[in-house]
Each structure stands twice: as structure tokens, then as C-alpha cells.
Structure 1
Amino acid sequence: MPLTFTLDPAITPVLRDGILDLWADVSNAGGAVGFVPPVSREEIRPELLRHFVQLAEGRCRLLVGHDESGEVAATAFLTRNAHRLMTHWLWLYTVMVHPRHQGKGYGRDLLAAAADAARGIDGIEAIRLTCRGGLGLERFYASCGYKEVGRVPGAIRVAPGDDREDVIMLLPLG
């Protein structure tokens, strides 16, 4: 059954807790979403609150996918570029699909919904995202239409002696 996507949902305690659970479950399953396992909801909470501040300030938009039981199953944050010469593209951050739903095509559905949302934002011509090298994520994003446009060697330190590339991907919306 497909996910139901909502752009800019009301931030409620239930949604907040659902995103915290999703973020912790994705991180602890090895997902590259800003944390290294093991991580708790309480360790993630300050980062989620920073995202919520950006939402409140109108600098960011939230896309949430709910599964058939109504649980938060996927998220992505669309963030406008603040640099005045780069306002024609936005960043896609914290792209997550719950591990129990992986392999069902929900990641592709999430990226398609994010692209549709970006197309609805006046003046946006492309989406940029970065992903952690060494996990094959760039192949997944490429299969969804993103093009690799750069790599920064050793930019992500997962652990002492375990540095990864930061892979930059671009999706033109034209």
C-alpha cells in the first residue's frame, strides 16, 4: 500500500514523536541521516528542534509520508538556499524511510513527492542533496534522476579513522 504524503503538516506532539522514532530507527539501522548508531531519541531531539525552528521561520518545509496505519514512515525537509545568488535551487535534507518499509519503493515515492513539492515553489529549478559515501546511496539517488556533481573526500567523520566522502547530487526540475 502506498504512503500518504503531506507537505507542511501541522506540528503536533504525535508528529514530533513519530519523526523522532523514525530518525532513531533509521539511524540505528545504519542510515546516513546525521547520526551514528547507537543513538537515542533524546540525542536527536535538539536537531529536530532546529529543523522545527527553520519551519517556523519559513526557511524550510516538511514532507511527511504516513503508512497505512497512520504512522510516520518517511520524511524529507526542503530548505531554500539563503544565498541570494542561489535562490533558484533548494536543499533536500534528512531524507528517511523507515527500515521496515525499505524495499517497497517508498524511497522513490518520497523523492518524487519532494520533487513535486519543489516544483510548486516559485522560482525553484533544481534540488541539491548530499549523501554519505561508502553506502551506495549515490547509486540510489542516480536511479531517481539525480546527477552526481561533486565529492568532498574525508568530509564526513563517522568514527576516528573512518572518514567518508560527502557526495553532492543535483536534480534539475526542468
Structure 2
Amino acid sequence: MPLTFTLDPAVTPELRDGIIDLWAEVTNAGGAVGFVPPVTREQIRPELLRQLVAMEERRSRLLVGHDEDGRVAATAFLTFNTHRLMTHWIWLYTVMVHPSHQGKGYGRDLMAAAERAARGFDGIEAIRLGCRGGLGLERFYAACGYKEVGRVPGAIRVAPGDERDDITMVLSLT
């Protein structure tokens, strides 16, 4: 059964808890979403609060995918550039699909929903995202139409002696 995507859902305590749970479960399953496992809900909460403030300030938009049981199963934050020379593209952050739903095509569905959302924003010509090397994420994003445009070797230190490339990818919307 496909996910139901909502752009800018009402931020309720249930939604906040659902995002925190998703973020922790994705991270602890090895997902590259800003933390290194093991991570707790309490460690994630401040980062989510920063994202929610950005949403309140209209600097960021939230895309949420709910599964057939109404649970938060996927998210992505679409964040606008504040630099006046870069307002024609947005960042895509914290792209997550719950581990129990991976392998069902929901990641591609989430990326397509993010693209549709971005196409609805005035003046946006491209989506940019960063991903951690060493996990094959760049192949997934390439399959979704993104092109690698930059790579900084060893820029992400997952642990002492475990450095990964920071990869920048872009999807043109024009």
C-alpha cells in the first residue's frame, strides 16, 4: 500500500513524536541522517526543534509520508536558501524512510513527492542535497534523477578513523 504524503502538516505532539521515533529508528538501523548510532530520542529532539523553528520562520517546509496505519513512515525537509544570490534552489534534508518500509519503493516515492513539492514553489529551479559516502546513497539519488556535482573526500567523520565523503547532488527542475 503506498504512503500518503502531506506537505506542511499540522505539527501536533503525535507528529513530533512520530518524527523523533522515525529519526531514531532510521539512525539506529544505520541510516545517514545526521547522527551515528546508537542515538536516543533525547539526542534527536533538539535537532527536530531547530527544524520546527525554521518551519515557523518559513525557511523550511516539511514533507511527511504516513503509512496505511497512519504512522509517520517517511520525511524530508525542503529548506530555502537565505542567501540572496541562491534563492533559486532549495536544500533537501533529513530524507528518511522507516526501516520496516525500505525496499518497497517508498524512497523513490518520497523523492518524487519532494520534487513535486519543489516544483510548486515560486522561483525554485533546482534541489540540492548532501549525502554520506560509503553507503551507496549516491546511486539511489542518481536513480531518482540527481547528478553528483561535488565530493569532499573524508569530510564526514563517523568515528575516529572512519571518514566518509561528503557528496553534493543536484536535481534540475528546469
Give the TM-score band, short-chain normalised: over 0.9
Match of 1:56 in 2: 56
Instruction: Note the C-alpha offset of 1:153.
Output: 1.1
Specify the code of the residue in structure 2 equivalent to 1:42. Answer: E
Query: Is 1:110 the equivalent of 2:110?
Result: yes
The 5-angstrom pairing of residues 55-134 of structure 1 reads: 55-134=55-134
The equivalent residue for 2:16 is 16
Residue type of the partner of 2:96? Answer: M
Cα distance, 1:82 vs. partner?
Answer: 1.0
Q: 2:86, 2:153 → 1: CA distance?
A: 24
Written as runs of structure 1 = structure 2, the 5 A alignment for 1:40-55 is 40-55=40-55
Aligned to 1:147: 147
Deviation at 1:155, TM superposition (A): 1.0
**Identity, % of aligned positions:** 81
Residue number in structure 1 paired with 2:173: 173
Give unmatched runs, 5+ long, in structure 2. Answer: none
CA distance in 2 between partners of 1:53 and 1:159 (Å): 29
Alignment partners' CA distance in 2, 1:55 and 1:156: 26
CA distance in structure 2 between the partners assigned to 1:3 and 1:108 by the alignment: 11
Give the AA of the match of 1:105: G
For 1:34 and 1:171, locate their aligned partners in 2 and report how far apart those are by CA, in whole Å. Answer: 21
Distance 2:39 2:136 in 1: 22
Instruction: State the shift of 1:12 in Å.
Output: 0.3
CA deviation map 1:79-101 (0-9, x unaligned):
00111111000000000000000
Counterpart residue type for residue 74 of structure 1:
A
Question: Which stretches of structure 1, 4 residues or more, deviate above 3 A after TM superposition?
Answer: none
Aligned to 2:5: 5
Number of equivalent positions: 174
1:164 maps to which residue? 164
